[in-house]
Each structure stands twice: as C-alpha cells, then as structure tokens.
C-alpha cells in the first residue's frame, strides 16, 4: 500500500472512530446512575479535579492534564485492547458528565453540548481517535499475522496524538485557571 492510500485509509478510519467515541460518550451521558451512587461518584470527580489542579499554576495544571490524557492515549494505541479501552473510557466520561449535570441541577444536554464544543475537547477526541485507529490497524495485522509495514506512520501518528494532547492540555488549563470549566 502506498503512503497516500495508507493516509487516506487512516483518515476515513479516524473519522469513523471519532463518531463512535462521541456516540458512546453521549450514550453514557444518558444513563442515569443509581441515586445512592451519585454522591460517591461526585466525590471521586471532585478529588480527581483537585489532584489535576494541584497548586493552580498554569504549568502544573497543563502537565497534570497532559500526563493523564497521554496515558489514556498510549493505552488506546495498544493493539487488541486499545480500542475497547477507549470505548469504555468514552462511555464512563459520559457518565461523569451525567453526574455533574445531576449535581449542578442543569440540563444534561446543555452540559453535554457545552463540554463537547470546547476546543480542547474536540482536539482531545481527535487525538484519542488517532490512537484508537492505530490500535485497530495494529490489531488487524496481528490477528491476520501480517507483517506491519507502516511502523513509520504509526510513530508519526503517536507524535501527532501527543502533540494534539499538549495543545488540548494547554487550552484546558487556561480554561480551568480562568474559572470557565466546572
């Protein structure tokens, strides 16, 4: 397969994965957790947010967000398990959004739309879609016992996904410090 075909195939698969990840997030956001679970989940969200914010310095917040998201992206790139892990993560992110909506008393679709349209969210999902696409491609070659000849493209994609995550972390940290994010 020549490089142009490989890139075109990746773009089509990235688009499909992007839509799939967003769909699972929306499905997760429509699930109502048990009332007795909401409080514990909310406490976990608050504790996690405090850990990410740390001292509140821009560089520290950016680093903490990038580290958290990069771990997810690297796991999502893993053959066989990466894509299912990303789907699980997207679904659980939807549940987190639902819990935030319940605790704030706001409409779930308002919070969901507000969350998904933030520039950092769009870039993060693109990065996770790239990572999951690489997982799918690696898995295909492993299961078919084919030699993987596109390792150079995979390395380029990993560099691209981490670069996108750095940009997203920077944008998200600015929002958090400015007090825009919940």
CA distance 161 to 86: 14
pLDDT for residue 11: 94
CA distance 54 to 16: 36
pLDDT for residue 146: 75
Domain regions of the chain by residue span: 3-178
Q: Which tokens in the block code for residue 104?
A: 């704030």
Q: What is the pLDDT of residues 76-110, one digit of tens each?
A: 999 999 999 999 999 999 999 999 999 999 999 99
Residue 182 has pLDDT above 70, yes or no: no
CA 146-149-150 angle, to 5 degrees, is 125
Q: What is the pLDDT of residues 1-59, one digit of tens each?
A: 577 888 898 899 999 999 999 999 999 999 989 989 999 999 999 999 999 998 889 99
- Spell out the residues 6+ positions from residue 139 whose beta carbon is closer than 8 angstroms to its own: 79, 80, 82, 83
Q: What is the pLDDT of residues 127-165, one digit of tens each?
A: 999 999 999 998 988 888 877 677 788 889 999 999 999
Tell me the pTM.
Answer: 0.90
Q: Are 45 and 103 in contact (CB under 8 A)?
A: no
């Amino acid at each position: 397969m020549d490089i142009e075909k490989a890139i075109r195939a990746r773009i089509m698969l990235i688009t499909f994965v992007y839509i799939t990840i967003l769909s699972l997030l929306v499905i997760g956001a429509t699930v109502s957790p048990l009332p007795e679970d909401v409080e514990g989940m909310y406490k976990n969200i608050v504790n996690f947010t405090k850990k990410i914010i740390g001292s509140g310095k821009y560089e520290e917040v950016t680093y903490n967000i990038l580290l958290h998201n990069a771990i997810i992206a690297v796991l999502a790139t893993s053959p066989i398990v990466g894509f299912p892990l990303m789907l699980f993560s997207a679904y659980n992110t939807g549940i987190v959004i639902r819990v935030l909506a319940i605790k704030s008393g706001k409409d779930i679709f308002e919070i969901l739309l507000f969350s998904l349209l933030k520039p950092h969210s769009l870039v993060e999902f693109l990065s996770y879609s790239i990572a999951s696409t690489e997982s799918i491609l690696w898995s295909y070659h492993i299961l078919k016992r084919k030699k993987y000849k596109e390792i150079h493209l995979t390395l380029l994609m990993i560099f691209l996904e981490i670069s996108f995550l750095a940009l997203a972390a920077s944008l998200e940290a600015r929002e958090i410090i400015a007090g825009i994010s919940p």
